Amino acid sequence: MRRIHELLQKGDPSHVAITDHDGVDYTYADLSRLVEDMAARLSGYGIRPGDRVMLLSENSVTYLAATLALGRLDAWTLLANARLTAAEVDRLAQVADIRCTIYTPEVSSAARGHAARMGGISLGRLDCGELLVSPLRDAVPEPVEEGPGQTAILIYTSGTVGEPKGVMLSHGNLLFTAQTSSTLRRISDGDVTLALLPGTHIFGLTSVFLAALSKGSRIIAMPRFDADTVLECLREDVTILPAVPQVFAALLRRLSELGVERLEHRRLRYIYAGGAPLDLGIKQRVERVFGLPLHNGYGQTEASPGIATTRIESPRSDTSVGLAAPGTEVRVHDPNEHGVGELWVRGPNVMKGYYRNPEATRTTLTGDGFLRTGDLARQDPDGAIHIVGRLKELIVHSGFNVYPPEVEAVLSLHPAVSLSAVVGRARDGDEDVIAFVTTQSEVTEAELRNWLRERLAPYKVPARIVIADAVPQAVTGKILKSKLLDHFRDQLEQKE
């Protein structure tokens, strides 16, 4: 198997492959025809092998069909959440030199808004709705590889301000992770996976959508999280629920509001947390309320994303992320006296590199193929991995990645701001985005928040912006981010 659309051959043609946001079922035969039709229309419109095509979407059949259709054409899919702002979308289009954009209008008002702004053109109606695209742009196609090394997906991981880094993931990367995930979860054609993780995130694409297809099973597409709808699905047909810890925390809160101490479910057999650190308290409460082990895992976009996961046959009582994925190799590099060092990984899951950024690629990938994750870890004698800290500053807020340099860059553009620093603060199983600024003229927190709202997606806007006379700094002038929350604790608590 050399292309991701070939996963559709795994399913019984008469078996339901995906249930769309509106409740309409599409069999494997339906989805295969839809992918073929969409690929033909996109090719006729002018999409060529090696073109980068932005898919501005939310979870739906259109999203999945477009991803597979572009792969069939040997084009690259640039995955982007439809909730990005116009400035963010335009920046991605520029740095990736895209040929055009595809939208998911039926399922996303945000996507419709972008289409209207960008002069969307209809290529006609498909079974799943309108095929809406932007006008073609002049772009130079990339070379095509015949084997599974052909790039399938492009995801930008360091935001759209400053110097974004586009992770190039091959068909082989995606197929490896899909197969590995489905095998570890023991997925069969009788399983039903609830796809509430954004498909524009690598976790949602490979570990949810493609993993389900690789075993001929069924997916339920959920464009936006709604606790009551999720609970209804869990009480009915769903057997597998992958989610970020924040989603499980939200479900626990909703069940508490409903006075439910134990969730009644008919077929649910496997629940899994990933995408952010798992708090032990949340894990224990979830297991008590759901009556199932909450499995845990760890990954990065650069690793497609699976690096480690706990095993069904040996659930854990701690928050270890389990053993390395089969077929991969992990190494704790340069450990200290406590066995803690940077986690490195090598295997078929590791990216090809960063698009048009050889310097960043050389910094992240070693000469012998290891990915430097930037995360600190230790290993038990049995190989179980514990993530103990992050060298990187990534914040995961409500399941979405927020990169502090991106928010800081936008804050610094405000004429009143002289210095800015953004950090994450753990709260109720989630991470809040907190900003600290010093100013050179009068400005209010509300004004700064409005400034950010106009330029960033809502989930990137800080919950709090502390305006200070000074922030902790080293003699070099570098802001000491590790001291900010403690230094301003009283001010943060007073306002709350």
Fold classified for 395-495: GMP Synthetase; Chain A, domain 3 (3.30.300)
CATH 3.90.870.10 fits 4-175, yes or no: no
Structure tokens given for 76: 């690259």
pLDDT digits (tens, 9 = 90+) for 239-261: 999 999 888 988 998 999 999 99
Task: Name the maximum alpha-carbon separation found in the chain.
Answer: 68
Angle formed at CA 61 by CA 60 and CA 63, multiple of 5 degrees: 65
> Does 228 score more than 90 pLDDT?
yes
What pLDDT is attached to residue 408? 87
Amino acid at the residue 316: R
Dig out the tokens for 302 from the structure: 């650069």
451/411 Cα distance (integer angstroms): 8
Domain map (residue ranges) of the chain = 4-175, 225-390, 395-495
Q: Which amino acid is at 445?
A: E
Q: How far apart are CA 33 and CA 457, in angstroms?
A: 35
* Cα(362)–Cα(380) distance, integer angstroms: 30
pLDDT digits (tens, 9 = 90+) for 39-58: 999 999 999 999 999 999 99
> Read out DSSP for 315-331?
--SS---BEEPTT-EEE
Structural tokens at position 312: 């069904």
Q: For the whole model, what pTM was predicted?
A: 0.87
Question: What does the pLDDT look like over 315-350, one tens digit per residue?
Answer: 999 999 999 999 999 999 999 888 999 999 999 999
253 - beta bridge partners? Answer: none
| The residue to which tokens 């990169």 are assigned | 403
| Structure confidence by residue, pLDDT tens digits, 99-121 | 999 999 999 999 999 999 999 99
Amino acid (one-letter) located at 86: A
Residue tagged 């629920």 (tokens): 241
Q: What is the overall mean pLDDT for the chain? A: 94
Query: Distance between CA 376 and CA 386 in Å, rounded?
Result: 9
Evaluate whether 4-175 and 225-390 have a shared fold: yes
* CB contact at 8 A, 462 and 414: no
Q: What is the DSSP string of 91-130?
A: HHHHHHT-SEEEE-TTT-HHHHHHHHHTT-EEEEEETTEE
Lowest-confidence range among 186-190, 417-421, 442-446, 487-491? 417-421
Which 8-state DSSP code applies to residue 460?
A: G
More confident residue, 407 or 141: 141
Question: Is the sign of the CA dihedral 478, 480, 481, 484 positive or negative?
Answer: negative
Q: How many CB atoms lie within 10 A of CB 44?
A: 9
DSSP summary character for residue 453 = H
Supply the Cα-derived Rg of the chain in whole angstroms.
Answer: 22
Q: What pLDDT score was predicted for residue 181? A: 97
Best CA proximity match to 437, nearest among 410, 477, 468: 468
**3-state secondary structure at position 377:** strand
pLDDT per position as a tens digit, 370-415: 999 999 899 999 999 999 876 667 788 988 888 887 898 889 889 9
**Least confident stretch, 70-84, 161-175, 201-215, 278-292:** 161-175
Determine contact, residues 174/208, Cβ cutoff 8 Å: no
| pLDDT for 423 | 93
| Alpha-carbon gap, residue 91 to 166, rounded angstroms | 12
Provide the sign of the torsion angle of the four alpha carbons 42, 44, 46, 50, taken in this order. Answer: positive
- Alpha-carbon gap, residue 324 to 392, rounded angstroms: 21
Coil/strand/helix, residue 143: coil
Is the separation of the CB atoms in 80 and 202 below 8 Å?
no
* CATH 3.40.50.12780 for the 225-390 domain, yes or no: yes
How sure is the predictor about 76, in pLDDT bands with cuts at 50, 70 and 90?
Answer: very high
CA-closest candidate to residue 282, choices 312, 313, 249: 249
3-state secondary structure of 332: strand
Which amino acid, residue 321? V
**pLDDT for the residue 474:** 65
